[in-house]
Amino acid sequence: MSTDHTNGHTPPAPASSNFLRGIIETDLTAGAYAERKDSQGQPLPQVVTRFPPEPNGYLHIGHAKSICVNFGLARDYAGRCNLRFDDTNPEKEEQEYVDTIIDSVRWLGFDWKDSTGEHLYFASDYFDQLYSMAEYLITADLAYVDSQSAEQMAANRGNFGEVGKDSPFRNRSAGESLDLFRRMKAGEFKDGEHIVRAKIDMASPNMNLRDPAIYRIRHAHHHRTGDKWCIYPMYDFTHPISDALENISHSICTLEFQDHRPFYDWLLEHLSSAGFLQKPVPHQYEFSRLNVTYVITSKRKLRQLVDEGIVDGWDDPRMPTLVGIRRRGFTPESLQLFCDRTGVTKSDGWIDMSSLEGALREDLDPKAPRASAVLQPLKLIIDNFPEGETVACHAPVYPPAHPEHATALRHFPISNTLWIEQEDFMETPVKGYFRLFPPTADKPGSRVRLRHGYVVECTGFEKDADGKVIAVHCTYFPDSKSGTEGSANYKVKGNIHWISVAHAVEAEVRLYDRLFTDPHPDAGGKDFKAALNPNAKKVITAYLEPGLKDAKAEDRYQFERHGYFVADRIDSQPGKPVFNRTVTLKDSWVK
């Protein structure tokens, strides 16, 4: 993401289209953050946002919205967006999650570099400063060490209908609390023996202000700091301070953090007044999270799907993780389009999965090359076509609606034995069926055009011992080849695709569908596993036109009649392709 910070001026941005843009434009007009400078004395952008994931799992579709909002606002207002890992819980965090999050944000189309450098940060970078600030709060009688058990703390915290009770340790002297805190840091105590709490108001109607915890003991190895620390700051303490240390202007998060904002403001006001943080401090704003039907985003439940082998891993194409969505074949552009269309509001609601699929179709239609693929193969034998001979055929790589690609052609041969779809033959046709069916006593067999090839007439079929149709026979008309002068003499209603058996590429094709049959699989305490879709994955052997033999990983195609498919980024190899169905050509999904 390139940014021009020349003289600290911000170029004009798009007209406000949501409340966050309105806030930013008001701040730009007022110069709310115009005078800030970085540690080297250089002017800071007036808009600095951040995407702050915890490295305790894989990003999912909901995170895509937050990424697009934060990086998009920074881009549109000539600002900067930091990528920061809020890594304060060593028991659940791993380098694996850091690596996949970095990869996913980049794949989605965003970067955290600008003309001043790379803005990739970790909350653990600030552990020494966070510790010093906690010591200050204790000495200023704004925090204390509590020695209640977790159960006692929970009982005394009260609830929405009952005010909390002061801890018996709330009035500990600053000196005693500071001594205990330093001994906690030195490793003298077990996990849970003591905890540091901010001293605010145990009677507050906002539960987050009832002396929230800011430091706890955790004898755990940290993926970056190793065993240096056995005390770790709480998320609600770390997050606002990290924002301020990174000179964030607009701290944008989802609505579940709305009730946490008063503590955010309380903390930054006290620490900036004490000289720890630069003013003006960041301000938090909340927008509604992205809720998509037929999807769950609970990390616990997603992990359950993985751990119980219900899916094939975090990157299973049925998963709503960004690595899964990517492997399914979704494009970064389609996700950005979808997130943009869902808008930014303060009202929670549900977006139907069809909107996401529609954005993908819209993105892929002009740029996905077309190809033929037979997914349910049935042999078609052209009895009067010379055995061993072939005739060259060709077809557009892109449809006529995209004239910029008009000269691009794909080439494939026709021979006497072809693969067609099973549904393109019917022994006893129903009314309105215009594909292949055999002759009867008083009528000849049907005629259809083999797309980009010849017109053929059905003459019969073969069955195996079980009565299953295994081959269809026909004759072709040599003067009917598409694109030749004689082809206009043949008027047929049916038009089917095909692939020469001798030249077909055999491939594994995975037909993916929605993981759940219920649009709200875990709502109201429901057992989400009861809504698993048994048809969410089906693996078949299909036949593809010859040009797909050397498809590269993540090459996307529209298989005509079938939908959009992608060469699997893990399993597909040149010469041995594996394709995933990303989405069908139209929304026809039913339970």
Residue 348: predicted pLDDT: 84
Q: What residues act catalytically? A: 54, 289, 299
Q: Tokens for 559, please give them.
A: 């298989």
User: Given pLDDT bands bounded at 50, 70 and 90, which one contains residue 400?
Assistant: confident
94-98, 404-408, 501-505, 572-576 — which is least confidently predicted?
404-408
Q: Is the peptide bond before 280 cis (omega within 30 degrees of 0)?
A: yes
- Asked if pLDDT for residue 166 goes beyond 80, the answer is yes
- Asked if pLDDT for residue 312 goes beyond 60, the answer is yes
Average pLDDT, stretch 52-74? Answer: 96
User: Given pLDDT bands bounded at 50, 70 and 90, which one contains residue 542?
Assistant: very high
User: Given pLDDT bands bounded at 50, 70 and 90, which one contains residue 2?
Assistant: very low
Residue 538 sits at φ, ψ, to 5 deg, of: -135, 125
Output the average pLDDT for the chain. Answer: 94
Q: Tokens for 562, please give them.
A: 């079938």
How many other β-carbons are positioned within 10 Å of the β-carbon of residue 207?
A: 13
Q: Is 7 exposed, middle or buried (0-12, 13-18, 19+ CB in 10 A)?
A: exposed
The pLDDT tens digits for 437-467 are 999 988 999 999 999 999 999 999 999 999 9
The pLDDT tens digits for 279-309 are 999 999 999 999 999 999 999 999 999 999 9
Q: Tokens for 445, please give them.
A: 């067999």
Residue 571: predicted pLDDT: 97
User: Given pLDDT bands bounded at 50, 70 and 90, which one contains residue 590?
Assistant: very low
* DSSP 8-state code for residue 529: G
Residue 40: predicted pLDDT: 87
- Asked if pLDDT for residue 503 goes beyond 50, the answer is yes
Region class of 259: left (phi > 0), else alpha (psi between -120 and 50), else beta: alpha
The pLDDT tens digits for 93-142 are 999 999 999 999 999 999 999 888 999 999 999 999 999 999 999 999 99
Sign of CA dihedral 134, 140, 142, 145: positive
Q: Tokens for 443, please give them.
A: 């009528």
The pLDDT tens digits for 228-249 are 999 999 999 999 999 999 999 9
* DSSP 8-state code for residue 282: P
Q: Tokens for 87, please give them.
A: 């890594």
Distance of CA 233 to the CA centre of its chain: 29
Distance of CA 436 to the CA centre of its chain: 42
The pLDDT tens digits for 555-582 are 999 999 999 999 999 999 999 999 999 9
Average pLDDT, stretch 196-210? Answer: 97
Q: What's the rounded Cα separation, in Å, for the pair 456 and 480?
A: 9
Distance of CA 503 to the CA centre of its chain: 37
User: Given pLDDT bands bounded at 50, 70 and 90, which one contains residue 531?
Assistant: very high
The pTM score is 0.91
Residue 406: predicted pLDDT: 65
Residues pairing with 512 in the sheet: 537
- Asked if pLDDT for residue 255 goes beyond 80, the answer is yes
The pLDDT tens digits for 331-365 are 999 999 999 999 999 988 899 999 999 999 999 99
Residue 588: predicted pLDDT: 58
Q: What's the rounded Cα separation, in Å, for the pair 8 and 115?
A: 13
Query: Helix 174-186 vs helix 127-139: angle between axes, to the nearest 10 degrees?
Result: 160
Rounded percentage of the chain residues whose pLDDT exceeds 90: 90
Residue 174: predicted pLDDT: 98
Sign of CA dihedral 181, 184, 188, 190: positive
Residue 1: predicted pLDDT: 40
Residue 7 sits at φ, ψ, to 5 deg, of: 55, 15
Residue 13: predicted pLDDT: 43
The pLDDT tens digits for 367-378 are 999 999 999 999
Cα end-to-end distance, the chain, whole Å: 42
